[in-house]
């Protein structure tokens, strides 16, 4: 198992330069424009190296782990990668890209049997989703896939955040004794880490949609598998682990609705854009978001260990922290600061009394 991680790491290191040459040869490149941070033409097929390395690791562990989820997972991830490759080469419409994501999600849900059937609620009781169990799983997979895709805006950002998330899921899987999810996380982690040196600033290659869609899809499926015995607590744990991409996506939707823009219209107000606008360098911005992602992962581990009162306290603190971050960096609007204005108001009243 750990040998597979090492082999995936080495395979990714070896394969990435070849994929870089291939990207230039077939025209899978990213040209700079007003929305892009980079200033030169960059190859963007790097996710293919991650995928091939992952497949090598999967076939290595296959004889030792006979699991009903593996074949549908590999088939579906291949469809996701194909969708990404076509998009990196030619550019496809959001509808076509969404169709590829839906087909992949349907395969793992329908043929792999991955779904969210029930959730046990605190103090007794249970919510049964019935016919909604499969649609909810598909929505989750597509949503997380696109959330990872949206944060892929700086060198090494999506790859590093994905590595932190995968490491977190592997930790929870290990604690729960889920060997399958733990093993898949390890080989995926090795594949990402082998690619990251080429992708970190200054990047020699981008992962492209091939990589961001693949990683988003794998993270979405692994988070469902790792927490398939759903309770309210266990359902929230993967949401916290994925705090950076989920919150960035939610604020993007809110921002576009507030500004009366189409929900799927691109902009330059994501978390990494806001940090750059505050004067942080490219590397500093990426490292700050790594730290935020690691903080979410630690909070998820803490959340899983505390009692119900403690879990409510953790959630409240996280919500406040996310809101403060959004207001500080201007994720919705630079003048949107209700919580900060409230704190200033309280301080003003205290100073006035004194």
Which helix H or strand E contains 252, and what residues bound it? helix 243-258
pTM for the model? 0.87
| 290-315 pLDDT tens trace | 999 999 988 888 887 777 778 788 88
What's the structural domain count of the chain? 1
Confirm or deny that 199 is annotated as ligand binding.
no
pLDDT at site 249: 85
Question: At residue 50, does pLDDT exceed 80?
Answer: yes
Confirm or deny that 277 is annotated as ligand binding.
no
**Lowest mean pLDDT across 135-139, 149-153, 224-228, 257-261:** 224-228
Question: In angstroms, rounded to a whole number, what is the distance separating the alpha carbons of residues 3 and 300?
Answer: 28
**Lowest mean pLDDT across 7-21, 143-157, 207-221, 259-273:** 259-273
Which of the four pLDDT bands, split at 50, 70 and 90, describes residue 269?
Answer: confident
pLDDT at site 253: 86
Question: In angstroms, rounded to a whole number, what is the distance separating the alpha carbons of residues 61 and 160?
Answer: 24
Question: In angstroms, rounded to a whole number, what is the distance separating the alpha carbons of residues 341 and 319?
Answer: 17
Question: What domain range includes position 261?
Answer: 2-353
Name the CA dihedral angle for 213, 43, 189, 15, rounded to a multiple of 10 degrees: 130
Question: In angstroms, rounded to a whole number, what is the distance separating the alpha carbons of residues 334 and 84?
Answer: 34
pLDDT at site 175: 81
Percent of the chain residues past pLDDT 70, beyond the cut: 88
Mean pLDDT, to the nearest integer, of 227-239?
A: 62
Contact of 252 with 262, CB cutoff 8 Å: no
Question: In angstroms, rounded to a whole number, what is the distance separating the alpha carbons of residues 279 and 251?
Answer: 21
65 vs 84 pLDDT, higher one: 84
pLDDT at site 122: 53
């Amino acid at each position: 198992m750990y040998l597979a991680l090492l082999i995936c790491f080495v395979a990714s290191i070896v394969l990435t330069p070849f994929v870089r040459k291939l990207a230039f040869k077939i025209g899978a490149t990213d040209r700079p424009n007003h929305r892009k941070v980079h200033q030169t033409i960059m190859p963007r097929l790097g996710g293919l190296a991650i995928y091939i390395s992952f497949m090598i690791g999967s076939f290595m562990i296959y004889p030792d782990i006979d699991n009903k989820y593996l074949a549908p997972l590999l088939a579906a991830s291949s469809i996701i990668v194909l969708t990404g490759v076509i998009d990196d080469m030619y550019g496809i419409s959001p509808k076509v890209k969404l169709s590829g994501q839906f087909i992949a999600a349907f395969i793992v849900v329908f043929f792999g049997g991955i779904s969210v059937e029930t959730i046990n609620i605190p103090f007794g009781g249970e919510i049964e989703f019935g016919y909604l169990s499969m649609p909810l799983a598909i929505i989750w997979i597509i949503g997380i896939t696109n959330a990872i895709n949206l944060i892929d805006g700086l060198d090494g950002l999506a790859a590093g955040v994905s590595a932190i998330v995968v490491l977190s899921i592997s930790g929870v899987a290990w604690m729960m004794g889920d060997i399958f999810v733990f093993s898949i996380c390890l080989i995926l982690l090795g594949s990402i880490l082998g690619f990251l040196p080429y992708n970190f600033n200054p990047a020699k290659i981008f992962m492209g949609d091939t990589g961001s869609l693949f990683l988003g899809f794998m993270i979405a499926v692994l988070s469902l598998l790792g927490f398939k015995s759903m309770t309210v607590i266990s359902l929230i744990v993967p949401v916290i682990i994925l705090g950076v991409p989920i919150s960035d996506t939610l604020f993007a939707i809110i921002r576009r609705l507030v500004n009366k823009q189409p929900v799927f219209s691109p902009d330059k107000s994501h978390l990494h854009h806001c940090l750059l606008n505050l004067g942080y360098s490219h590397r500093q911005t990426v490292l700050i978001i790594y730290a935020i992602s690691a903080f979410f992962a630690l909070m998820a581990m803490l959340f899983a260990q505390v009692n119900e009162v403690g879990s409510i306290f953790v959630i409240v603190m996280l919500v406040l922290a996310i809101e403060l971050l959004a207001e500080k960096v201007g994720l919705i609007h630079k003048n949107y600061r209700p919580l900060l204005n409230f704190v200033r108001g309280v301080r003003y009243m205290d100073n006035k009394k004194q």
